[in-house]
Amino acid sequence: MPNFFRKSVLLLLILFSISLSAQEKKELDITSDISQIDEVKYPGALVMYKNTKQVYIQHEGIEMWCDLAFHYKDENFVRAIGNVRMKQGDTISMRSNYAEYNGDTQFAWASGGVNLRTPTATLDTDTLYFNRIKQQAYYRTGGTLRDTASVIESKIGRYFLDQDKYSFIQNVVVTNPEYVINSDQLDFYSETGAAYLYGPSTITSETSTVYCERGYYDTRNDNGYFVKNSRIDYDNRTVYGDSLYFDRPTSFASATNNIRVIDTANNSVIKGHYAEVFKEKDSVFITKRAVAITVQDQDSIYVHGDRLVVTGIPEKRIVRGYYNVRLFKSDMSGKCDSIHINQANGLTQMIGKPVLWSDLSQMTGDSIHLKSNTKTEQLDSLHVFENAFLVQQDTIPLFDQEKSGFNQVKGDVLYGTFQDNALHQIDIIKNAESINYMRADDGVLQGIDKSKSASITAILEDNALVEITKFKQVDGEVYPLSKFPKESREFEGLNWRGEERLLTKEDIFKGEAPFTLTKIEGIPLPEIDEDFFDNTIPEEELDIPEASKLNPSDLKNREEDAPTIGVPINEKATIKKDSLAPKPSKPAGKQPLKQLPTLKVQDSTDNES
């Protein structure tokens, strides 16, 4: 016989032998101090008792102890009663009042004070099913898991030994000394303390409440990452964002994309696409198209800058804006390098090349202060420091040039007062100069008044100059247009920037490059494992020994116990019919989550489907 042929035959014999061995079902090995047979009371059973030592049962790597056992040898089945203990290697141990074990199927069922222990946690429940082939345990009558940091309660739970993972469904509550988590569905990895939240979920503490519909929380280090309709509620602030990060020990939160920070204490909101919130410092930093919106006298004021910083307690809130600051109000707009807003005293400081527009009027100076009445929330006054310059474009073009002229008032310092939130009176103090195009009621130009004086008071109606009063005039004359040289029609330093005026709230972004949202690291839907019980097996074919207390209905999956959210890995895994995630057309590979997932998604508010 050729050597190759002999080796092939030998290999086939070995494989056949292994196959036969795998099909052989080992019998239960049971020892006890006392045993007896009572066919009248317990037909087919060997009754085994504890005297000094508990009844000891061994099978395929599992050990059991109990005070009383009924061994049905023909069915390779045992019922254990009283102080039942079960141990599988160094991985799990279980205690209960009652247990059953089937040596053929390696299926265990325990009831009455069930306590399951693993190296990282303990589980208490009333009834527990344990499939040693799948290495999974399951309960559906309520259970409580305790690990080093938290206590987790749920109606339904499933433990995957190979992943050290628990899947909790319905009325899930995680209780920690610092917070409480409520969720519809939660996956928990006992070794790392990682919790994945699915469906409407809240994390509540004395100082904050986090809400999300998909999230990750590290129960060991007390921080988390949340997407899908996520928000954080503080005492007087609510933070919204496509994704949120929250660290409880430092009271720090950050948010990315479509952010809103609502300040309920000051009736304001900040928007942007990246934000950091420091609760202990009562501060918010926001950038990427950052906008602060404050309501004053039923009108909103929009302030935009490269970055905005809000600090201080509600009674002393400060808003700072840096670089390329723009502000818009229905009747006023402006620009400056930076801005400082004190909401406590109503003072707004525009710093660095400030400019204010009101209709066709423009105001500039080294810095501009606006003062609001904190009680009425109306603008009260303004103050322009150094090089104050008020310009108003004349309404009718001059016949000897294409553009209109400019009414101008300038001086060292300017003070203004408001009536009904509109600029009414302006006082120019020291070195005041003015150029005023004087027109009749029908618009005909009567002359051009140019003068110098110690101070000037100007009255405005409907944002137009209607009256100018000069005090201690030292020079002045009214010229006809033909006698007024073009080079004298503008004061030195005039810089009309009317084309930069903000006409709508959207103009605060005018001239900026198009903005692209950051791609968010998403949290994928959970992969739903095969059902714990196999519903395809007819009831009459279920391997249930006659002496078992179990009924066929006990070994069936119930639709109301199925998870609501997730992606089944194959046709043997189901979710509720009203679930937001239908079964895939093709089986998906099983990839258990061990850490924060890194699946990239375009945006985190996608539908479950």
- Report CA 519 to chain centroid distance, whole Å: 15
- What's the pLDDT at 405? 81
Q: Please list, residue by residue across 314-337, b when 16 or more beta carbons sit within 10 angstroms of its beta carbon and e when fewer do.
A: eeebebbbbebbbbbbeebbbbbb
Give the alpha-carbon dihedral of 404, 409, 413, 419, to 10 degrees: -80
* First CA to last CA distance, the chain: 63
* Residue 166: C-alpha distances to residues 134, 146, 175, 183, 214 (Å): 14, 12, 16, 14, 17
Identify residue 56 by its one-letter amino acid code: Y
Strand residue runs (E) in 205-267: 209-218, 223-233, 237-247, 252-263
pLDDT digits (tens, 9 = 90+) for 534-555: 998 898 888 899 999 999 999 9
The answer to whether residues 82 and 70 touch, using CB atoms and an 8 Å cutoff, is no
Task: Tell how far CA 376 is from the center of its chain.
Answer: 36
pLDDT at residue 24, rounded to an integer: 60
Token pair for 594: 């061990």
Express each pLDDT in 306-359 by its tens digit. 999 999 888 888 999 999 999 998 888 999 999 999 988 889 999 999 999 987
Binning pLDDT at 50, 70 and 90, where does residue 479 land?
confident
H or E stretch covering 12:
helix 3-23
Residue-level pLDDT at 424: 85
pLDDT of residue 402: 62
Task: Provide the phi-psi class of 103: left if phi over 0, else alpha when psi is between -120 and 50, else beta.
Answer: alpha
Provide CB contacts within 8 A for 437, sequence distance 6+: 394, 405, 407, 445, 448
pLDDT for 109 equals 97
pLDDT at position 594: 33
Is residue 432 within 8 A of residue 409, CB to CB? The reply is yes
Rounded to an integer, the average pLDDT of 229-248 is 91
Amino acid present at 225: Y
Domain boundaries, the chain: 359-493
292, two tokens = 């602060």
Which residues have C-beta within 8 Å of that of residue 501, sequence separation ≥ 6? 333, 357, 507
Number of other CB atoms surrounding residue 196 within 10 Å: 24
Confidence (pLDDT) at 133 = 94
359-493 belongs to CATH 3.40.50: no
The chain-wide mean pLDDT, for the chain, equals 85
